[in-house]
Structure 1
């Protein structure tokens, strides 16, 4: 995770045709694989914890080797990048840092 000094527009970080994932599908690997050959899958989802909720906006990028890479922004200025495991888990895995929730 990287904290930026200014808000970042994640849509300026990618180039190409993309599909908007439905809110209920933003973590489902099967939906991302089904959208091939489109490699960019844009999502907006919420992470809910006992101390609050944060909105995550980003892209799941389906690589040529069928591995999913995920990039995104939380709270406008917390950026992150994940390479997803190729295990049988049906959902992409993501972690959130407490600073994204405004906790110091």
Structure 2
């Protein structure tokens, strides 16, 4: 499902998400995650109790919300290469272990 970066539009769509059984969303950037959290508040709902929300960029603003927006960031700029590898493997019928693919993309924990 896709929404514009508009608090009211997001608030209008959240009830349908919840009715369909969705319990969590991962958005393409933290700004959208902040907007989803705001829309939840407008509806009298909360994260993660009613809907878990995860952003993607780990911007400083993600730490300013209440509750704090969970956010991820992959420190790699060659996403296209990884996506091509994944797509090639899947379309070739190979079993793809997402955890092992992530280990190849993410740096080791120090």
TM-score scaled by length of structure 1: 0.29
Bigger proportion of residues as strand: 1
Structure possessing the higher relative contact order (Cα contacts under 8 Å, 6 or more residues apart):
1
TM-score (structure 2 length as normaliser):
0.28
